[in-house]
Amino acid sequence: MTLALHNTLTRRLEPFQPLAPPRVTLYTCGPTVWNYAHIGNFRTFLFEDLLRRYLEFSGYDVFHIMNLTDVDDRTIKAAAAAGKRLEEHTAPFVEAFFADCDYLRIRKAHVYPRATQSVPAMVRLVQRLLDAGVAYRGEDGSVYFAIAKFPSYGRLSQLDRREIKIGARVASDEYAKDDPRDFALWKRADPIDERVGAAWDAPFGRGRPGWHLECSAMSLDQIGKCCRVETLDIHAGGVDLIFPHHEDEIAQSEAATGQPFARYWLHGEFLKVGGTKMSKRFGNFLTARDLREQSVDAAAVRLLFSQTHYRRALDFSDEALAAAGQGVKRLGEFRDRLVRAGGPATPDGRLAALAARFESDFRAALDDDLNAPRACAALFELVHDGNGALDAGAAGGAVARDALDRAMAVLDVLPTPRAVEPGFAGWVDERIAARDKARGAKDFREADRIRAELKAKGVEIEDTPSGTKWRMV
């Protein structure tokens, strides 16, 4: 099989064919840094991380752009409420976002353009649209996109064009999902914008960019610099962005360039809690910081999210997260067994056959629209059958370990190694030696006491023919 992806634009599964292989240009809508991102946001970012990793695993040279929205209605309102300048208010949330990405092992994008640092590109795009006659200045001093001048408006969201309110305008970034109107490209500066430092000079009047304009300008600017093209291979985001955000991106980008804006549109479904979408508005959100403070292993979060297809809603619960944590523990224990089994990396034997079958199933699953649940099922089948082979004395652990590690370059769901303080390893070795001495003297009560002492410190031990082995859990 070759990689096939579900394209929201066509509502079909399509073979993936980038414009200039092996290069792939990938744009993913990043966070709006008015507050901390919650794990519902990170469900989308982790689906995009899976996409990025599997593209690279498949041999593509990915150029990944993720924007940071640090000026829009919400950031301005939040900065004003806090009595701060815009940059001062958003800076800690930008820092927190990167810390959360590190915790969740999300690969860094190649560039993170910030809206406030990309205003010249936005001004240029607005001017192109004015020159093309598809934008106009309203009596309020703002610049609007004329939807009636773009006949294909609505094809991404499959909007009925009869519902479009011709000539009606909406200035806010967020507007009703069933109320398409001419949208603001550039908003005339208000006193609140000036107060927080969110206003810039432009030939068409002092103001600030509209949210929808920002992503178009930043993505086109970046792929123009790196690749001299005006079409993205893939644009990804959450399903809530299909309309109006992504619909408006297509309109303003294609009206300016005359080229398709993106060849493939991928959208991830919501994370839910008790059947309700996780959001700050509903007050049912949990942040990545909350999970980190609760000492939740990032691998458990990654595995939990991988066990539901990105195009299906995922219901989050403590029980589901705990079950994923147990799955991560099984994976770690299996890899440890493979390391101990060692042996030459030869393609012969039971473990080698299991590894070959696993890699074939793993690739077939992810080639099928990133079917991570099927890939995870193949992974745990390898664990089950591999443990059986090891119990039967099979050799060739190195082959299976290498296959597992290649898969982990995509899923990355092995346990996070615990940091060992200086001198701790020596203390563990001393306690194990003391336990061995107690066992030799048949003082099994003392041996059990030492095992419990080690366990209390997070040390798990295993007695093997070659001696006692230990690891942090």
| More confident position, 50 or 283 | 50
pLDDT reported for residue 35: 94
Residue 284 forms part of a structural domain: no
The rounded distance, in Å, linking the Cα atoms of 228 and 231 is 9
**pLDDT tens for residues 299-318?**
999 999 999 999 999 999 99
- Which whole number is the average pLDDT over 4-17? 98
pLDDT reported for residue 279: 67
Last residue of a domain, one of 277, 307, 327: 277
pLDDT reported for residue 219: 98
pLDDT reported for residue 463: 84
- State whether 133 and 218 are in the same domain: yes
| More confident position, 178 or 132 | 132
pLDDT > 70 fraction of the chain, expressed in percent and rounded: 96
| pLDDT above 90 for 259 | yes
pLDDT reported for residue 135: 97
- State whether 273 and 346 are in the same domain: no
- State whether 442 and 399 are in the same domain: no
Q: Which of 24, 109, 119 is nearest to 67 (CA)?
A: 109
- State whether 403 and 439 are in the same domain: no
- Which whole number is the average pLDDT over 101-123? 97
Residue 290 forms part of a structural domain: no
Give me the number of domains the chain comprises: 3
Residue 287 forms part of a structural domain: no
| pLDDT above 80 for 283 | no
C-alpha R_g of the chain: 27
Q: Which of 185, 155, 177, 153 is nearest to 166 (CA)?
A: 153
Place of tokens 């099994």: 444
- State whether 240 and 347 are in the same domain: no
Residues 6+ apart with CB under 8 A from 208: 71, 186, 187, 189, 193, 198, 199, 200
- State whether 331 and 263 are in the same domain: no
Q: Which two tokens stand for residue 18?
A: 């980038």
- State whether 370 and 442 are in the same domain: no
- Report the CATH number at residue 107: 3.40.50.620
Omega before residue 22 within 30° of 0, cis: yes
| pLDDT above 90 for 143 | yes
- State whether 431 and 382 are in the same domain: no
Task: Report pTM.
Answer: 0.89
Residue 291 forms part of a structural domain: no
Last residue of a domain, one of 411, 441, 462: 411
| More confident position, 309 or 467 | 309
Last residue of a domain, one of 245, 277, 309: 277
Residue 285 forms part of a structural domain: no
276-277 and 271-273: which strand pairing? antiparallel
Place of tokens 């205003």: 119
Count the Cβ atoms, other than its own, within 10 Å of residue 402: 14
- State whether 44 and 141 are in the same domain: yes
Residue 289 forms part of a structural domain: no
**pLDDT tens for residues 26-79?**
999 999 999 999 999 999 999 999 999 999 999 999 999 999 999 999 999 999
Residues 6+ apart with CB under 8 A from 181: 147, 164, 165, 168, 169, 170, 175
Least confident of 63-67, 144-148, 428-432: 428-432
pLDDT > 90 fraction of the chain, expressed in percent and rounded: 81
Domain interval for residue 337: 296-411
- State whether 250 and 300 are in the same domain: no
- Which whole number is the average pLDDT over 245-260? 97
- State whether 211 and 159 are in the same domain: yes
Residue 94 forms part of a structural domain: yes
Instruction: Please tell me what DSSP assigns to residue 395.
Output: -
Residue 201 forms part of a structural domain: yes
- Which whole number is the average pLDDT over 89-100? 97
- Which whole number is the average pLDDT over 251-272? 97
DSSP calls for 15-27: E---SBTTEEEEE
Q: Report the chain's mean pLDDT, rounded to a whole number.
A: 93
- State whether 339 and 226 are in the same domain: no
Omega before residue 244 within 30° of 0, cis: yes
The SS3 of residue 160 is: coil
